[in-house]
Amino acid sequence: MLKKIITEKRKEISKIKTKETINELKDRISTSDPPKDFKEALNGKFSIICEYKRASPSTGPISSKRLEESIKSFENGGATAISILTEKKFFNGDIKYLKTAKSITNLPILMKDFIIDEYQIFQARAYGASSILLIASICPNLETFINISKSLNMEPLIECENSLEIYKALENGAEIIGINNRNLSNFTIDFNKTRAFAPLIPNEKILVSESGVKRSEDVKMLREYGADAILIGTEVMKSKNPSDFIKDLLIAGTLTPKGGSPIE
Catalytically annotated residues: 51, 53, 112, 159, 180, 210-211
Round the CA-based radius of gyration of the chain to a whole number and report it.
Answer: 17
Number of helical (H) and strand (E) elements in the chain, helices listed first: 12, 10
- DSSP class of 80: S
**Which residue(s) pair with 81 in the sheet?**
49
Q: Are 228 and 258 in contact (CB under 8 A)?
A: yes
Are the CB atoms for 160 and 136 separated by under 8 Å? yes
The backbone region for 22, taken as left when phi is positive above 0, alpha when psi lies in -120 to 50, beta otherwise, is alpha
Contact status, residue 82 vs residue 109, Cβ threshold 8 Å: yes
| CA distances for 147 relative to 90, 144, 174, angstroms | 28, 5, 10
What is the DSSP secondary structure assignment for residue 29, as one 8-state letter?
A: H
Question: % helix / strand / coil in the chain, to the nearest 5?
Answer: 45, 15, 40
| Strand ranges in the chain using DSSP code E only, listed in sequence order | 47-52, 55-56, 60-61, 81-85, 109-112, 131-135, 157-160, 176-180, 206-210, 229-232
Instruction: Return the sign of the alpha-carbon dihedral for residues 58, 62, 68, 74.
Output: negative
Sign of CA dihedral 75, 77, 80, 81: negative
